[in-house]
C-alpha cells in the first residue's frame, strides 16, 4: 500500500451523509439532495452511489466542490 493511500481517511456513506448535512445545513435538505439525480454526477442519484467506496468518493468530491462555492 502506498504511503499516500495509507494517510487518506476512508470515505464512507456515513461520512458523506454528515458532509451533506454540513454543506446544506439542514438534515432534511441534505437527505433530499442525496435522493435526487445530480448533474455533476452524470445524473446519478447520490444515495445509490454510496453502496461502493468509489461512489462515496465521487459524492464526497461533489459536496466538497459545493462547499467551496463551485456549483458547476
DSSP string, 10-46: PP-HHHHHHHHHHHHSSHHHHHHHHTS--GGGTT--H
In a domain, 5, yes or no: no
The total domain count for the chain is 1
Per DSSP, the three-state class of 69 is coil
Q: What is the pLDDT along the chain (72 residues), one digit of tens a residue?
A: 445 555 567 899 999 999 999 999 999 999 999 999 999 999 999 999 999 999 999 999 999 999 999 876
Q: What is the structure's pLDDT at 72?
A: 64
In a domain, 4, yes or no: no
In a domain, 29, yes or no: yes
- Give the separation between CA 43 and CA 37, rounded to whole angstroms: 5
Provide the residue range defining the domain that includes 25. Answer: 11-67
* Nearest residue to 11 via CA among 20, 2, 3: 20
Q: What is the structure's pLDDT at 1?
A: 47
C-alpha cell at 43: 445524473
Amino acid at each position: 500500500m502506498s504511503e499516500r493511500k495509507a494517510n487518506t481517511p476512508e470515505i464512507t456513506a456515513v461520512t458523506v451523509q454528515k458532509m451533506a448535512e454540513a454543506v446544506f445545513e439542514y438534515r432534511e435538505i441534505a437527505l433530499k439532495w442525496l435522493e435526487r439525480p445530480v448533474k455533476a454526477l452524470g445524473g446519478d442519484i447520490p444515495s445509490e452511489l454510496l453502496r461502493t467506496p468509489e461512489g462515496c468518493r465521487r459524492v464526497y468530491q461533489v459536496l466538497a466542490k459545493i462547499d467551496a462555492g463551485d456549483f458547476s
